Chains A and B, each alone.
Chain A
Amino acid sequence: MSRTIMVVDDEPDILLTVRVNLQLAGFQVVSVESGEEALTALRSDRPDLLVLDIRLPGIDGWEVLRSLRQDPQLRDLPVVVLSAHASPGSADRAQGLGARAYVTKPFRPDDLSRTIQVLLDHT
């Protein structure tokens, strides 16, 4: 049974890049364009892993991470943060909020796929 990954990014073409590659790696992909949508979708249908952009309109990635940590159903959901912030402070902050990996844009799509594979194998 293939695993499901939810991807949250407000840029449709980044969503496309991630989706195409994860599909090629054999994952099921659910694409979502905002933090609000992501939280709703996560609660109704829990994926195996979440790929989350930080800069989102409305509820941003930090807020989503915080909400996940407070939700007993979603607390242990592995999250890979996708961010354009290359500062070390952001990576630490993401880790502090429970993210398992921090990937900065621009990234190589197969690196992302591999990171996700490793995380799922260890979960």
Chain B
Amino acid sequence: MLTGVQEVLRDVQLVAFVLLAAVALRLWRRRPGPPAAWVAGAFGLMATVVVLGRLLPQEPGQAPRTAVALLIVLIVLFPYPLYRFAAAFAPVSRPLRVVSAGLTALAAGLAPFLPAFPPPGAPRPGSLLAYTGLVLVQWTVLLVFVSARLWRAGRGEATVVRRRVRLLSVAAAGMAIAVIISGFVPAGWGRTTTQTMGVVAAGLFLLGFAPPRPLRMMWRTPETNLMREATTELMRATTAQEVTGILLPHVSALVGGRAAALVDQAGEVVASHGKDPATMETDVAEAFGRGHGRRGSAPVEVLPGLIRTRLEGGVLLVWASPWAPFFGGEELGLVRALGGLADLALERAALFAQERQFIANASHEMRTPLTAIAGLADTLARRWEDLPPDTTGEVLEAIGRQGERARVLIQNLLDLSKIGSDNRVTTRGVELREAVAAALEAAPPPPAARLTVEPGPDVNVRAEPVRLEQVLTNLLTNAYRYGGPEVTIRIRAQDGSATLEVRDDGPGVHPDLVPSLFDPFTRGPAQAATPGSGLGLAISKRLAESFGGRLAYNRGEPRGAAFSLTMEVVR
């Protein structure tokens, strides 16, 4: 009866440890590096022990001495690679290193010199008893270390990682107990218990190293909920601060991290969580030094103690334990997914910010005409009789002028919103010279300006005639207003496209202004006294783009501003 159970257990044990060795080898192939190599070593040894034990004759005294010695050496070696695996993630104290290596070397070295095992029931010689004691101590020391370290490693980790390392911790403890039992209870029920413990430990190791997908998904429920919560909150976020305020704590929690930061392309910490930005500097500098921005590098990279994810809006860094990436590969996928969502949210926040700025600028621009109109009308209503006639005339003129200014501003704002929303523009071939002539008729040069239209090719361009004329009129008006007396129009055709350039010899655009030149409400400091709302170029650029054209600014040579409108030539 007992031997029947033992035989079944032996078979199960054989299957379990061979499977475990296969799992460990696969893990090593997937995550090349010392930790997985030690795991593969440990379970490769154990599988060999189980298979070899099965091949040797079962009757006492029948097995060759060398084979038995080899078997003992392998058994003695087993906990050492497991210990090295647990030690691979964080340093181990020197005394423990010496003790674990020393005990293992001693036990393995003595194995060939052991006396023959006596038949069951017969008393064991003293040397054999002493050796058994040595092996018990060695296994216990190493496996207790493994178990304790793995258990502690689970603290604060994401659920999957925590469950996995704690299963491994229990498995290591189980192995230690199995060996202790086998040492003190040599036969009969003792053997069955040892075998059962071995099978259970193997099962736990299997679950820890290769948990099946449904189990992982079940364990991951808290992180999935966290992910869902973060997604919902990110969709509601309207400012960059809100986005990083949601992203960083969540992304850190997903991988059981201690801290997280968003770093811009220049290596500056934009936002941080869980750690003082000042203390992040060294890590950030290191994370950037290590092949950052290298072409083809993975979107998520694992550095020592740091997980780096590349986003559109910068680099996401999470300070996490080394266990997190080893046991939580899929959690890194969640980090990447959340990072991608944050990218979209940041983009949206930038648009919101732009819109808020636009509204603030528009209302700011309305304040001047409104102040003048309301103030002067109020003055007229209260004190008409007290005003000298000259002043009354001046006041009425000012009201008319500011009314017109408000009207133009509102018209421009409406234009801007219309171009943005109306994409149904019908283009056709337009004779560029005719378009220039029409624009010059609508915006003739003021008496002070000297206009030159350089001879150039006659070309038909793809455009919408009314919008093209509006762009040209805007460019001419700008040149008259802000340029010098010389204004030149030039047409060039090349490689299927034609470029019309309006150049002046004024002071040109201030270099600080160039990057935002085509943004709404951009005006130079010297232009405040010149009429205009700062919307003309923004409108012109959008108009040009609506019919497939491109509007660009270049510094004039030797001075002045040159605006060029490039369009497709049609035959």
| B-binding residues in A (CB < 8 A) | 10-14, 16-18, 20-21, 24, 33, 55-58, 84-85, 105-110
CB pair A110–B378 under 8 Å, yes or no, is yes
Partner of B378 from the list A18, A58, A108 (CB cut-off 8 Å) is A108
CB pair B370–A106 under 8 Å, yes or no, is yes
B356 within 8 A of A: no
| A-binding residues in B (CB < 8 A) | 364, 367-368, 370-372, 374-376, 378-379, 382-383, 386-387, 391, 394-395, 398, 401-402, 525-529
- Chain B residue nearest in CB terms to A106: B371
Partner of A24 from the list B372, B383, B525 (CB cut-off 8 Å) is B383
CB pair B367–A106 under 8 Å, yes or no, is yes
- Chain B residue nearest in CB terms to A112: B375
Per the bound structure, the CA–CA distance linking A33 and B530 in Å amounts to: 13
Per the bound structure, the CA–CA distance linking A11 and B526 in Å amounts to: 13
- A-side binding surface: helix, strand, loop or mixed? loop
Pull 8 A–B residue pairs with CB atoms less than 8 Å apart, ordered by A. Answer: A17-B375, A20-B387, A57-B526, A84-B364, A105-B367, A106-B370, A109-B375, A109-B379
A14 → B minimal CB distance (Å) = 6
Residues of A within 8 A of B528 (CB): 10-11, 55-57
Partner of A16 from the list B372, B526, B529 (CB cut-off 8 Å) is B372
B409 → A minimal CB distance (Å) = 14
A85 → B minimal CB distance (Å) = 8
A90 → B minimal CB distance (Å) = 12
Residues of B within 8 A of A10 (CB): 528-529
B389 → A minimal CB distance (Å) = 13
Contacts known (A16-B395, A57-B526); A24 close to B371, Cβ less than 8 A: no
B230 → A minimal CB distance (Å) = 32
CB pair A20–B370 under 8 Å, yes or no, is no
Per the bound structure, the CA–CA distance linking A16 and B367 in Å amounts to: 15
Per the bound structure, the CA–CA distance linking A10 and B371 in Å amounts to: 14
Residues of B within 8 A of A33 (CB): 529
Residues of A within 8 A of B368 (CB): 11, 13-14, 84, 105
Residues of A within 8 A of B527 (CB): 57
Per the bound structure, the CA–CA distance linking A57 and B527 in Å amounts to: 8
Residues of B within 8 A of A12 (CB): 398
A115 → B minimal CB distance (Å) = 14
Residues of A within 8 A of B529 (CB): 10, 33, 57
B318 → A minimal CB distance (Å) = 35
Per the bound structure, the CA–CA distance linking A13 and B386 in Å amounts to: 20
Which of B382, B391, B527, B528 has the most chain A CB atoms closer than 10 A to its own CB? B528
Residues of A within 8 A of B525 (CB): 57-58
CB pair A21–B375 under 8 Å, yes or no, is yes
Residues of B within 8 A of A109 (CB): 375, 378-379
Per the bound structure, the CA–CA distance linking A55 and B371 in Å amounts to: 15
Per the bound structure, the CA–CA distance linking A33 and B527 in Å amounts to: 13
B38 → A minimal CB distance (Å) = 60
Per the bound structure, the CA–CA distance linking A24 and B395 in Å amounts to: 13
Per the bound structure, the CA–CA distance linking A56 and B401 in Å amounts to: 21
CB pair A110–B401 under 8 Å, yes or no, is no
- Chain B residue nearest in CB terms to A60: B525
Residues of B within 8 A of A55 (CB): 528
Q: Top 6 closest A-B pairs, CB basis?
A: A106-B371, A17-B375, A13-B372, A105-B371, A13-B398, A105-B367
Contacts known (A11-B368, A17-B379, A55-B528); A106 close to B398, Cβ less than 8 A: no
Partner of B379 from the list A11, A20, A84 (CB cut-off 8 Å) is A20
B141 → A minimal CB distance (Å) = 66
A117 → B minimal CB distance (Å) = 16
- Chain A residue nearest in CB terms to B372: A13
Residues of B within 8 A of A17 (CB): 371-372, 375-376, 379, 398
Residues of B within 8 A of A110 (CB): 378, 382
- Chain B residue nearest in CB terms to A24: B383
CB pair A24–B375 under 8 Å, yes or no, is no
B366 → A minimal CB distance (Å) = 9
A83 → B minimal CB distance (Å) = 9
